Amino acid sequence: MQEHTTFRKIIFFNLFLALPLLISTSAKANTEGLELIAIVNPQVELAEVDYQTLRDIYTGQSEHWPDGQRIFPVLRPVVKESAYRFYRDVLEMGPDKLQSHWHKLMASGERLPLKVIHRAYDVGSFVSQQRGAIAIIERRELSKLVDIRIRVVQILKPVLTVLQ
């Protein structure tokens, strides 16, 4: 009986130890699904893009791709976690501030308004048809775009450097 109780304690202890691991694995799977990727029109020759380039594109600092094609950035409304994270982590500004910034560009005739599309499939369709288009979606949404001709571009996260 004593042996049986000890065995149960060991099992519970191990489970207790394994719990954080299980949670972290599940969270990782969740995060992988939420991972942001960029999709571009197939004519845009791009393999990967970093945060700074995305920031330049979405704040209107960059107007053309290196090959001269005009850039058409597409935004998602902030009803999705991924869109929220895109504003927070990549653009480092909220949607209202970004909209104000574009109003300023528009009032001086420098840029047309940003295209805002909600559904992932519509985003994919637009990007596939519009030369120079770029959009940010979640990796898991790629499964909805299998029949659409787009180029998937990896987003490079900034590398944190520790000063010695």
Partner 1 sequence: MQKLRLITLTCTMLCLLQAQDGFAQTQSAQVPENAGIFQYLLNQFSGPENHSHVYGVIETNLQKSSDYPEGINEAGSTTYDSDAHQYNIPHAHLMLQSMKGNLFNGFLNLNINDEDGVALNNAWMDIGLNGEALKLRLGKFYRPFGLYNEVRDSVTTRLSAQLPEYLGENHTMISPTTNLMLHGRISGSGHTLRYAFTTGNDLRAASQTPFGTDIYYLYNNFFRFGASYYSSNGNAVAPSTEIGELKNSPVQNWMDKDKFNVYGSYMRLAHLGFNLDLEYWSSSHKAERDIEQIQALEAATYLNPTQLQRFGLDGITGDSSASDSIPLQTNYTVSSYLMRLAYTWETEFGFVTPYINYDYYKNPETIAAKEFGGDEKAGRSQDGKFEKFSFGMIFKPIPAIAIKAEYDSNRVKFNNQSVLYSSYIMSAAYFWELN
Q: Please report, as ranges, the residues that interact with partner 1 according to CB under 8 A.
A: 52, 55-56, 59, 61-64, 68-70, 94, 96-97, 99-101, 103-104, 106-109, 112-113, 130-132
Comparison of 91 and 141: residue with beta carbon closer to partner 1? 91
Non-local (6+) Cβ contacts of 77 within 8 A are 83, 95, 116, 118
Comparison of 9 and 97: residue with beta carbon closer to partner 1? 97
Q: How far apart are CA 85 and CA 42, in angstroms?
A: 25
Non-local (6+) Cβ contacts of 94 within 8 A are 87
β strands within the chain, DSSP E? 36-40, 48-50, 72-75, 115-116, 133-138, 151-156
Comparison of 65 and 153: residue with beta carbon closer to partner 1? 65
Q: Looking up tokens 């990549």, which residue turns up?
A: 90
Q: What minimum distance in Å lies between the beta carbon of 12 and partner 1?
A: 46
Q: How buried is residue 68: exposed, middle or buried, by Cβ count under 10 Å (0-12/13-18/19+)?
A: exposed
Comparison of 59 and 125: residue with beta carbon closer to partner 1? 59
| 58 three-class SS | helix
Comparison of 34 and 84: residue with beta carbon closer to partner 1? 84
Q: What minimum distance in Å lies between the beta carbon of 95 and partner 1?
A: 8
Q: What minimum distance in Å lies between the beta carbon of 35 and partner 1?
A: 23
Q: What minimum distance in Å lies between the beta carbon of 114 and partner 1?
A: 11
Q: What minimum distance in Å lies between the beta carbon of 124 and partner 1?
A: 18
